[in-house]
Amino acid sequence: MLTLTPAATVTADVPWLTLLVVWPLIGAALLWLLPRPEKTGAAGPRRVREIALGFAVVELVLAVIAAVTAFGSGADSGSYQLYEQHQWIPQFGVSYALGVDGVGMLLILMAVVLVPLVVLASWKEQGSESGPTNRLRHYLALVLVLTSFMVAVFAARDLFLFYVLFEAMLIPVYFMIGAFGGPQRRYAAVKFLLFSLAGGLIMLIGVIVLYLHGPGGTEGFLISNLTGLDLPTGTGRWLFLAFFLAFAIKAPMFPVHSWLPDAAEQAPAGTSTLLVGVLDKVGTFGMLALCIPLFPEASQWAAPVIIALAVVSIFYGALLALGQQDMFRLVAYTSVSHFGFIVLGIFAFNSTSIAGSSFYMVNHGLSTGGLFLLVGFLVARKGSAKIADFGGLQKVTPVLAGTFLVIGLSALSLPGLSTFVSEFLVIVGTFATNRPAAIIAAVAVVLAALYVLWTYQRVFTGPVRDELAETKDLSGRERWVVGPLIALMLVLGFYPAPALHLVDEPATTTVTQVGVTDAPDLVTAGDEGSEQ
Amino acid sequence: MIFNAPDIAWAQLTPVLFPLGAAVIGVLVEAFAPRVARRPTQLVLTMLALLGSLVSVGLLWSDVKDTGGTDVLGGSLLVDGPTLVMQAVIALLALLAVLIAADRTSTGEDAFAPQAASVPGSGYEESARRAGLQQTEVFPLMLFATGGMMIFPATGDLLTLFVALEVLSLPLYLLTGMARRRRLLSQEASMKYFLLGAFASALLLFGIVLLYGYSGSLRYSEIATAVTGTTGMDGLLLVGGLLLLVGLLFKVGAVPFHSWTPDVYQGAPTPITGFMAACTKVAAFGALLRVFYTVLPGMRWDLEPMMWTVAIATMVVGTVIALVQTDIKRVLAYSSIAHAGFVLTGVIALEQSGITAVLFYLLAYGAATVGAFGLVSLVRERGTTPAGLPEAAQASLGVAVAAGALPVGSAPAASTDPVDVGTGGVDDEIKDDTTVLGEATDISQWAGLGRTHPVLATTFSLFLLSFAGIPLTAGFTGKFAVFSAAVDGGAWPLALVGVIASAAAAFFYVRLIVLMFFTSPTGGPLTDSEDGTTRPRTVVVTSQGFAVAAIAICAALTVLLGVLPGPVLDVISQVAVFLP
């Protein structure tokens, strides 16, 4: 991708992160360069899928090795590991700088776990219906391109690089929605793009202004060079707002969430999984890794309003989820609710709640990703995502029903599943600094139970409908998609220590950066609570 | 009276001498060479001239980099860093535009009228077409225009500025009227361009006169001294300065002096539109930049309100009106207006970084523009005459289709094949119904091109993404550079308007991408578009190679300047200092 002149500071022996960025791109290029399926006969589409899956799995293996290399020996997860830095556009002060702290690494791992599952879930999409002009390879190539961008954006340590990836990521997603989605896909794709682009461009002004307040020079965009600037109060607040708006749109938070339900409804299930599971995390990740360190004063200034909006998001998302007829939209609204929790935890400025939010990002990716994929399987069976079109499925498809229930329970934070740990930490941490918000947010858990169980009830219980009597249960491939997700939820639910180790120290760092006195250390208490 | 012949540094003039000299030779070729030899001769001559221009810029480079530049012809031409950059950019873009103009595609016809003097629709025109005549004067005309464009940003006095303006404009007026298809539209555009252009020239001249009256000199440097030194007569200076700027802003296509742009861009032969949109803009912004940075900085506070208004109006009007256009050339025309606004934010910044930013932006924008119009010139419509066909004609076409003259059912497959025009075996009447006509410029005709011609649609999308300023394309780097310069120069509201306009502008670029990739290709020879009218079927003609080469270079530049802009920025910023 980039041929760069090497510069001095390289703290990684092997450029793991660059490798993780480049590897999927090679896969995508390979998919596009393959001879067209109609020329290779029936073997065409299969090979495409297998190549994509191969690349995705190798990417996962590479990421795990990288994570073990970086943090396996108990390295400080609050510092940036696997750091690489090269000059990119020295005239603008732009570097190609990658590095991950615990949170970034965890999100990268979450992303590369989801990618092979998405590839596997898309196994039968796009191929058969379009006949000889098989479009699956375009879809899978876009998934791989997106993978590369996702890894890079969580690892970017240069503000310009982050911005470029933040915006460039839109293009593959745009095509993944617009070219492969449902009947209203064009509208959804354009809406998605314009919302994101508008937020991003406002942020661009912020990026430029911040750079001009920074030290400048050929490395002026390095986040480390922009952290801790002595910004004038007014400027800092405006800049914070410019950044926050972009991230709030991405996250998405009430009231700038309205693109998400449309996008999720129209996109293929795999796209929604990556969009909501991973991409939207860039929003909350940006708040955590950019907004707060860059503008600590403004973050504190804005925190009350943001917490209020987060609480509104929690309820608004949950209530609207209850009213949805379409399961994709339902899952999208539950995500708005969950993102409210994440944002609440971040802006409660408490190391427990921030650690909880960081962990929540991962768990939400797993549970929501799982829900989207399962709804996708349902749609593949019935050709509709309307709740009213289903009923009584648990008698016909017990495995599908069971997995849906488990993943649904994880979405409502049942103890023993990983989301519980994170939601608990968020609420406990918030309770220490902002009691009313914590109490109100806790009430929303009831709503979560309602929207998950009521949906389960309508889709899977009751008398079996005649037209659904022949519905097939999950195939072996589909079980392989859902199985790993459930396993991860259980493992992280009962033994969250490795993940918490990764998010713990960054949370402490963040709290220090904001400059508030931390509430009593509740992280360990949280661990015990979850394991009991 | 003793008349001292000026000491002429010929070497410094070579970048300009190449195109102008070759243009003169080209005129002689038209006069004396046999008809068959004209086209190849002109083509080779034009290429060589523009390449020679590029090479001579390269040879002058190190000298200028070290010395900061020299004035030539007693100060009429200033050969400094920005001059060389702009001359190189103009030569490069002109070369690409010439390649596109030279391409006759698989139809065997170029974009120009076989006999521009013939009355549209006359029998004379038809016989010229049958005889296979062509106006090879296009090439020397383009060279003359290029020569004028190269002088325009390089001049150091107002009189040369005016002469250069005329040298670059007159051939363009002519070229605008020479389209092969829709000739009346083309001639109307030419007329409009000429009248409005003459009007703007007059304003410019009037401004020059007033500035001369104020300062007693035509030299930039002396006017600049007078601006800071002289007191009184401020009215003269202000009006003169404003009129001068109006003349330049007209060429740039800034609101409210933009009204010629859409009509001219639409009517002109498409390769010429690309040439105008890219090269004229570079030249005009070059001159504007020089005037703004070297002549008028003393008037900065007086001019700022006007320039801010113009920049904001240009960005907003260009974007908003582009949103509702249905003709692809008009969309690109309004988008070029919006881009003029973006560049203006960099000009107004009056920062050193602004010069580099503007020069880079012009290169990035020019590459995408030439490429985009090149692609537009390849997408044609096939079938009968334009929309609003009379009933009888439709009926007869129906017969032709029924007779199997068109492969209706296999439309997408058939359109990938080279177009079979004049292969015989079809009688004249039906052949007229199935020939490849002009460009399919109605955007509804671009539906589904992504499915039938993925490479073309992808390349066009790349240019659109660059226009929209999406990261990793040249357009983003350029926008980032000019907005940074604007913020740096304290003009952050301009940058804010700029990004909002960019977001809105993204909508219509994206709309085209949606249309190409996410909409089903239109099937039969006549398809109902959304407004209920019928349009001929869209085909893509095969290039002879020239246009494809030019478009490929443009696409490569767009990606390269987006991903690795460092070296180019470095080269530009090394020399981005104006001679006083």
pLDDT at B192 > cutoff 50:
yes
| B408 burial type by CB count under 10 A (0-12 exposed, 13-18 middle, 19+ buried) | middle
The pLDDT value recorded for residue B435 is 67
pLDDT at B454 > cutoff 90:
no
Q: Most A CBs within 10 Å: which of B464, B510, B561, B571, as the mutation test of the A interface?
A: B510
Cis amide bond preceding A252, omega within 30: yes
Nearest Cβ partner for B517 among A91, A133, A178: A178
C-alpha atoms less than 13 angstroms from C-alpha of B244 in its C-beta half-sphere: 30
Chain A neighbors of B503, CB-CB under 8 A: 194, 197-198, 201
- Chain-chain contact of B499 with A202 (C-beta, under 8 angstroms): yes
Smallest CA-to-CA distance from B85 within B19, B132, B28, B15 is with B15
Residues 6+ apart with CB under 8 A from B115: B124, B125, B128, B133, B135
| B201 burial type by CB count under 10 A (0-12 exposed, 13-18 middle, 19+ buried) | middle
Residue A317, both tokens: 């998302």
> Is 0.90 exceeded by the ipTM?
no
pLDDT at B407 > cutoff 70:
no
Q: What integer best gives the mean pLDDT of chain B?
A: 83
The pLDDT value recorded for residue A48 is 79
Could you tell me the pLDDT band of residue B400, with boundaries at 50, 70 and 90? very low
The pLDDT value recorded for residue A126 is 53
Is residue B421 within 8 A of residue B108, CB to CB? The reply is yes
Q: How far is CA A300 from CA A159, A288, A507, A511, B464, in A?
A: 22, 13, 16, 11, 41
Which residue has better confidence, B106 or B476?
Answer: B476
Which residue has better confidence, B421 or B286?
Answer: B286
* Predicted confidence (pLDDT) per residue in B512-528, tens digit: 888 888 777 655 444 44
Which whole number is the average pLDDT over B419-433?
Answer: 36
* Beta-bridge partner residues of B179: B112
Q: How far is CA A299 from CA A156, A283, A302, B41, B572, in A?
A: 21, 15, 5, 69, 40
Task: Tell me which amino acid residue A231 is.
Answer: L
Is residue B70 within 8 A of residue B51, CB to CB? The reply is no
The pLDDT value recorded for residue B43 is 93
Say how far apart CA B265 and CA B220 lie, in whole Å: 32
Q: Check CB contact of A32 with chain B, cutoff 8 Å.
A: no
pLDDT at B146 > cutoff 90:
yes
- Calculate how close chain A gets to B245, using CA atoms only, in Å: 28
* Predicted confidence (pLDDT) per residue in A235-275, tens digit: 889 999 999 999 999 888 888 888 888 888 888 888 888 88
Which alpha helices (DSSP H) does B299-390 contain, by range? 300-323, 328-348, 352-376
The pLDDT value recorded for residue B21 is 95
The pLDDT value recorded for residue B265 is 93
- Calculate how close chain A gets to B560, using CA atoms only, in Å: 10
- Residue whose token pair is 């219509």: B508
Q: What integer best gives the mean pLDDT of chain A?
A: 83
- Calculate how close chain A gets to B574, using CA atoms only, in Å: 11
Say how far apart CA A504 and CA B220 lie, in whole Å: 65
Q: Most A CBs within 10 Å: which of B453, B514, B573, as the mutation test of the A interface?
A: B514
Give the chain B residue whose CA is nearest to the CA of A177.
B518
- Calculate how close chain A gets to B350, using CA atoms only, in Å: 16
Could you tell me the pLDDT band of residue B453, with boundaries at 50, 70 and 90? confident
Which whole number is the average pLDDT over B113-121?
Answer: 84
Chain A neighbors of B564, CB-CB under 8 A: 2-3, 88-89
- Chain-chain contact of A190 with B569 (C-beta, under 8 angstroms): no
Give me the residues of chain A with pLDDT under 50, please: 1-10, 43-44, 127-133, 522-532
Smallest CA-to-CA distance from A270 within A177, A362, A188, A194 is with A177
Could you tell me the pLDDT band of residue B1, with boundaries at 50, 70 and 90? low
* DSSP designation for B470: -
Nearest Cβ partner for B518 among A163, A179, A202: A179
Which whole number is the average pLDDT over B282-307?
Answer: 87
Q: How many CB pairs under 8 A join A and B?
A: 92
Q: Check CB contact of A514 with chain B, cutoff 8 Å.
A: no
Angle at A165 between CA B488 and CA A118, to 5 degrees: 165
The pLDDT value recorded for residue B386 is 43
In chain B, the percentage of residues whose pLDDT exceeds 90 is 44
Give the chain A residue whose CA is nearest to the CA of B511.
A190
Smallest CA-to-CA distance from A503 within A527, A487, A482 is with A527
Nearest-10 Cα torsion for A247, A252, A256, A258: 150
Q: What is the separation of C-alpha B146 from the centre of its chain, rounded to a whole number of angstroms?
A: 11
Task: Identify which of B4-8, B388-392, B467-471 has the greatest average pLDDT.
Answer: B467-471
The pLDDT value recorded for residue A514 is 78
Is residue A213 within 8 A of residue A235, CB to CB? The reply is yes
- Residue whose token pair is 């290429």: B47
Tell me which H or E stretch contains B534: strand B534-540
* Predicted confidence (pLDDT) per residue in B243-265, tens digit: 999 999 999 989 889 989 999 99
The pLDDT value recorded for residue B193 is 94
Which whole number is the average pLDDT over B495-504?
Answer: 89
Nearest Cβ partner for A209 among B477, B481, B492: B492
C-alpha atoms less than 13 angstroms from C-alpha of A58 in its C-beta half-sphere: 18
Residues 6+ apart with CB under 8 A from A223: A97, A157, A158, A159, A162, A289, A290, A293, A294
Weakest mean pLDDT among A52-61, B416-425, B542-551? B416-425
Could you tell me the pLDDT band of residue B165, with boundaries at 50, 70 and 90? very high
Which whole number is the average pLDDT over B258-282?
Answer: 93
Cis amide bond preceding A484, omega within 30: no
| Helices B81-102, B138-151: crossing angle, 10 deg rounding | 170
Q: How far is CA B319 from CA A364, A387, B313, B493, B506, in A?
A: 39, 42, 10, 17, 9
pLDDT at B90 > cutoff 90:
yes
Residue B547, both tokens: 């246009």
Is residue B282 within 8 A of residue B570, CB to CB? The reply is no
Task: Please state whether beta strands B379-382 and B77-79 pair in parallel, antiparallel, or not at all (unpaired).
Answer: unpaired
**Strand ordering across the sheet containing A6-10:** A6-10, A81-89, A94-100
What are the backbone dihedrals phi and psi of residue B88, each rounded to the nearest 5 degrees, phi first?
-65, -45
Is residue B114 within 8 A of residue B132, CB to CB? The reply is yes
What are the backbone dihedrals phi and psi of residue A18, each rounded to the nearest 5 degrees, phi first?
-60, -40
DSSP E strands: which ranges in A66-171? 81-89, 94-100
Could you tell me the pLDDT band of residue B208, with boundaries at 50, 70 and 90? very high
Tell me which H or E stretch contains A6: strand A6-10
* Predicted confidence (pLDDT) per residue in B295-343, tens digit: 887 787 888 888 899 999 999 999 999 988 889 999 999 999 999 999 9
- Calculate how close chain B gets to A199, using CA atoms only, in Å: 9
- Chain-chain contact of B484 with A90 (C-beta, under 8 angstroms): no
Tell me if residue A210 falls in helix, strand or coil: helix
Is residue A117 within 8 A of residue A479, CB to CB? The reply is no
The pLDDT value recorded for residue B409 is 37
pLDDT at B534 > cutoff 90:
no
Say how far apart CA B547 and CA B543 lie, in whole Å: 6
The pLDDT value recorded for residue A134 is 62
Task: Please state whether beta strands B70-72 and A94-100 pair in parallel, antiparallel, or not at all (unpaired).
Answer: unpaired
Residue B386, both tokens: 């334009």
Give the chain A residue whose CA is nearest to the CA of B563.
A2
* Beta-bridge partner residues of A89: A94
